[in-house]
Amino acid sequence: MDARRFLAMDTATEACSVAVSTSDGVLEELVVAAHGHSQLLLPMIQRVLDRAGMTLADIEAIACGVGPGGFTGVRIGVSTAQALAMARGLPVYPVSSLQALAATVPQPQVLAALDARRGEVYAGVFCQDAQGIPQLQGTEKVCAPDVVDWPSAGQWWGLGTGWQVYHAHWQGTGVLGWRGDSFPRAEAVLRLAQTRCQTGDRGISPALLEPHYIRPSLPEAQQK
């Protein structure tokens, strides 16, 4: 498979983003909006393909951020990736949205945290491997900020909306710094999927693609 022809998306947070890879690099579009991903995503895909001078017929694989994140946003991304992949008979690469968040910065050690609402955060600890890919240490969790088990030693960088909301709970963790206005991005989802493809990962059938919620889905009114 030509790893240059990926379409990627992530809709797990307020950031709705789409990216496509070509022989000249990666093109990405990102919109930050609290709602409306279902109306934004398909037109964004078409615009990015148009900018690349490509159509869906040129795409050889689809990568999708599968969460954790907002239930509605994650479902939109997963269902769109499934529909497009099924229509074209393409493999799909599910990518953790927390890993994609960690991959947006060159920092070797990242404490990724996304605001999960309801007084909780989605949290994951990531360290870069020899290829510069952030690899999860332990498991991804959803919990109250006071019980996040961040490492007590090392040089870490805090990243994500969870830090914006709950950084006061994590004073004294020894982080070098933090940035709270960062989101998972389709460009990072694409790079992570490409790396897996280049090492022999053939992806999965779109029928097997599932959201990675971590916690059980709630009625829509309770997800706000």
pTM flag (> 0.85): yes
The DSSP string of 165-198 is: HHGGGGTTS-EEEEESS----HHHHHHHHHHHHH
| Averaged pLDDT score across all residues of the chain | 92
DSSP-H helix ranges across 53-201:
71-88, 97-102, 161-166, 186-198
pLDDT score, position 220: 41
pLDDT value at 216 more than 80: no
* Residue 97: count of CB within 10 angstroms of its CB: 34
Give the pLDDT mean for 7-25: 95
Q: Please report which confidence band the pLDDT of residue 215 belongs to, taking 50, 70 and 90 as the band edges.
A: confident
Domains of the chain by start residue, with CATH? 6-97+184-222 (3.30.420.40), 105-179 (3.30.420.40)
Tell me the C-alpha to C-alpha distance, in Å, between residue 60 and each of 8, 145, 210: 11, 40, 20
Between helix 71-88 and helix 37-52 the angle, nearest 10°, is 40
pLDDT value at 1 more than 90: no
**Which tens digits make up the pLDDT trace of 107-166?**
999 999 999 999 999 999 999 999 999 999 999 999 999 999 899 888 999 999 999 999
Cα-based torsion angle of the residue sequence 16, 68, 206, 35 in order, rounded to the nearest 10 degrees: -30
